[in-house]
Amino acid sequence: MNGAALPDLQLLAALEVLVAEGNVSRAAERMGMSQPAMSGLLKRLRATFDDPLLLRTARGMVPTPRAVELAAKAGALIEQARALTGGARKIEPRREERVFRLIATDYVLMVVLPAIQARLEAEAPGIGLDARPPNPRRVLELLASGQIDLGVGYLVDPPAGLRTRLIFREASVCIARKGHPSVKGALTLAQYQQADHVRISPAGVGNYARLVETALVDLRIRRAGGIVVPNFLVAPAIVARSNLLATVPERVARTFAASLPLQILAPPVPLPVLDVSLYWHERAHKDGLHRWMRDLIIEAARRV
């Protein structure tokens, strides 16, 4: 790129939207222009930055690493330009219309989503949520590009560029079915080691599984066999109809014990507490509506 030639703000805005949408037609609709006009902007962007920026694949158009980097910087520049041309826009939640895209595991969604939705219905009926499973390998890319607005969960070593806020802490407990042949109201270390277990390893995530397994390895404790499932919410149903045990977040156990024949048991060994945080990219940190949504999630989550 010629150092003397600066791209205009429309070009930068097009880059940000193209990366977020991964589709020329949708990007054009979002910016209120024709598809040929957006294609022309993409052609200019490719020439300006000497990079293909978006590559066509079987999954659609995928941004290059350079495009993700540029889109994040473009978003920050656009926000600065808006701040220069006027003061911060007053946020009126009842009048706002926006869909926030959120990533979280099924367990986290079960805990926080009902409280968040209740607040939205009461305070901001035009704001919706699009919840998706987490993707740790792409978390920075997804948040930096604007494809995802917020994440909630146990995030190990947050990458640079992300902000985090602890919203609640969660202990782990063990569950067994009522009527279990050997576990009756309490759980010994020998029972814990000899029993088969339902191990929870969310697809593509596995942070909770590693947290538990690492603690047990450090204590030189081994568990017997069992099965591995990809989400939290199936484990209680399996335990309730088998002799398997499971180690789960306490809120999962208490929620399902209200409707399933489950015993909630103290683990026979100390297990680490799960820190559940809200996280977002620096590019959205000063956005007024984004900040309002973060505050709502934090307040709602801390009351569950």
For the chain, what percentages of helix, strand and coil (3-state, to nearest 5) are there?
45, 20, 35
Res 180: pLDDT: 95
Res 224: pLDDT: 67
Q: What is the pLDDT of residues 196-226, one digit of tens each?
A: 899 888 765 556 777 777 777 776 777 767 8
pLDDT at 257 over 70: yes
Cα gap 245→177, rounded to integer Å? 8
Burial of 70 (0-12, 13-18, 19+ CB in 10 A): buried
| Average pLDDT value for residue range 14-37 | 86
| Average pLDDT value for residue range 177-185 | 94
| Geometric angle at alpha carbon 143, from 137 and 146, rounded to 5° | 135
Residue tagged 């505050």 (tokens): 295
Percent pLDDT > 70 in the chain is: 92
What are 207's two structure tokens?
A: 């942070």
Contact 263, 185 (CB under 8 A): yes
Cα gap 37→28, rounded to integer Å? 8
How far CA 288 is from CA of 88, 122, 152, in Å, comes to: 8, 19, 19
Show the domains of the chain with their CATH numbers.
9-85 (1.10.10.10), 93-163+275-302 (3.40.190.10), 172-272 (3.40.190.10)
Kindly provide the b/e burial profile for residues 203-220, where b requires at least 16 CB atoms within 10 angstroms of the residue's own CB: eebbbbeebbbebbeeee
Cβ count near 269 (within 10 Å): 14
Rounded to two decimals, the pTM is: 0.68
| Average pLDDT value for residue range 101-109 | 92
Cβ count near 259 (within 10 Å): 10
User: Which amino acid belongs to residue 74?
Assistant: A
Res 6: pLDDT: 60
Q: What is the pLDDT of residues 156-166, one digit of tens each?
A: 778 888 899 99
Res 228: pLDDT: 87
pLDDT at 183 over 70: yes
